[in-house]
Amino acid sequence: MTPRLLPAEFANRVKRLRWILLLVWGSTTFCAAFFARDFNFTLLGGPFGFWMAAQGSVLIFLAITWIYALLVNHWEQQTQSDPETPSAS
């Protein structure tokens, strides 16, 4: 059984996770756009810079969303008083 998580601790974890994922999102967006011409190697039949701007960034954004949902759902379950009863929110 996982230990119970206090609401204040839950809020701090979510805030920290948001900042980390925002930093990943911003650096992905900036690097793909700013350094696209510098990525000169070929990946899947096309230049890596084009692939990253067109496909890779979207995949990273989807991964960010998935990670956020997975972790916050897990932490929400830890804040519930009775693990067998789902929250009404």
Q: What is the pLDDT of residues 16-59, one digit of tens each?
A: 999 999 999 998 888 777 776 776 777 777 777 777 777 778 88
Which has more pLDDT, 28 or 81?
28
Residue 80 resides in a domain = no
Number of domains forming the structure of the chain: 1
| Mean pLDDT value across residues 63-81 | 91
Residue 23 resides in a domain = yes
pTM (two decimals): 0.71
- Residue 28 CB coordination number (10 Å): 19
Residue 55 resides in a domain = no
Residue 25 resides in a domain = yes
Residue 2 resides in a domain = no
Run of H or E including 2: none
- Enclosing domain of residue 39: 11-48
Residue 32 resides in a domain = yes
Helix (H, G, I), strand (E, B) or coil at 6: coil
Report the mean per-residue pLDDT for the chain: 82
Judged by average pLDDT, the poorest of 15-19, 46-50, 61-65, 81-85 is: 81-85
